Chains A and B, each alone.
Chain A
């Protein structure tokens, strides 16, 4: 009886540890994305053009009408999304149950937006911007973590 309790406690601790690792990784990835999106928002607001460093593709993407939604820079929305993902991942890592669900929905929304932006770059602008590709890679990583999470949790439990 006692050994079964011990086993269950150990299993719960293991689950808690893997969750902490998972959400810490997600929070770190979100932080990197937040830094990049904040930088791009500042560049957008300051009207700086040197950021593309002679890359025509970068100009074509960052200078296109797709960089704004109703006058709001997409990079600003990205910064907000990354910040939300960071906040939810942090709360989830500390064991807040609802934060996990919010984190999942945020990442799903970011994934959808990333697919749309990749479609725009590939089929409408025929140009890819390195900043956008980097952000897409980060969102794919977050999505990968989200997909892998239940597997890891099930394996442990």
Chain B
């Protein structure tokens, strides 16, 4: 028996490592069962947008956000939850404010990640890590690191961040915001109706969304 003992121990540890790794992998995947598919859609007008949720959803939530704005960061996760809960269509528009030093670069980073199908992952990461990169003297290095963590093609990411296409996309979103009267962030529209700024907070927004859903589907 002693002769076989080392083989048994090594085989058990090998199985445990592979099995444990597989279990952990599945647990991590099931904790996030619907990985966000970054949809960059082109509207009939030729405009491209970042949207989550079905195109025919009863309620569309359109947010004009700035990745360096703290209230936008506080709303990021609640909006994700509301999207799942009510199957909303969520559209994110870039609206970097000039008083935020790294906001514009962060918007470029999100757009560059979007070019590789990871806009929403970068969106979530930028908001989650907002407190860190906002204070950094070299935010660009951190954006590159985030891209690496998201397993993006780094060379392409760097190139896209500096490309005129990405910068134009941000410009277009800002222009659209300016045309419809957006002045600050976050500005949220529910089915094209602006949500009063006082109600744009994690406590009151769910009520506003629920009311919009009820209004859109009065029978249910």
Contact = CB atoms under 8 A, between A and B. Distances in A.
A49 B17 contact: no
Given A83-B17, A91-B6, A49 B146 contact: yes
Nearest to B11: A87
A41 B24 CA distance: 10
A56 interface: yes
A31 to B, nearest CB: 7
Contact of B25 (A45, A52, A63, A67): A45
Interface residues of B, number: 33
A46 B21 CA distance: 11
Interface residues of A, number: 33
Contacts of B131: 54
Interface string A23-67: 000000001001100110111011111101010100110111101
Nearest to B138: A56
B132 interface: yes
B148 A56 contact: no
A79 interface: yes
A93 B9 CA distance: 12
Pick the most buried of B17, B133, B150: most chain A CB atoms within 10 A of its CB. B17
Contacts of B129: 54, 59
B75 interface: no
B154 interface: yes
Contact of B13 (A52, A54, A86): A86
B144 A63 contact: yes
A127 B170 CA distance: 31
A117 B64 CA distance: 42
Interface in B97-152: 121, 125, 128-129, 131-133, 136, 141-142, 144-151
Given A39-B24, A83-B17, A86-B13, A59 B6 contact: no
A121 interface: no
A94 interface: yes
Interface string B3-31: 00110011001100100110011001100
Contacts of A46: 25, 28-29
Given A54-B131, A63-B148, A90 B142 contact: no
Contacts of A79: 17, 21
A63 B6 contact: no
Contacts of B5: 94
A134 interface: no
B149 A86 contact: no
Contact of B148 (A34, A41, A64, A96): A64
Given A49-B149, A54-B132, A87 B21 contact: no
A83 B25 contact: no
A96 B115 CA distance: 55
Given A54-B131, A59-B145, A64-B145, 13 more contacts: A34-B17, A46-B28, A46-B29, A47-B149, A50-B128, A52-B149, A56-B132, A60-B141, A62-B149, A79-B17, A79-B21, A83-B17, A91-B6
7 closest A-B pairs by beta carbon, nearest first, are A63-B148, A63-B145, A59-B145, A63-B149, A46-B28, A94-B6, A60-B145
14 contacts: A38-B17, A42-B21, A42-B24, A42-B28, A47-B121, A47-B149, A49-B146, A54-B132, A62-B148, A62-B149, A63-B145, A83-B14, A94-B2, A96-B6
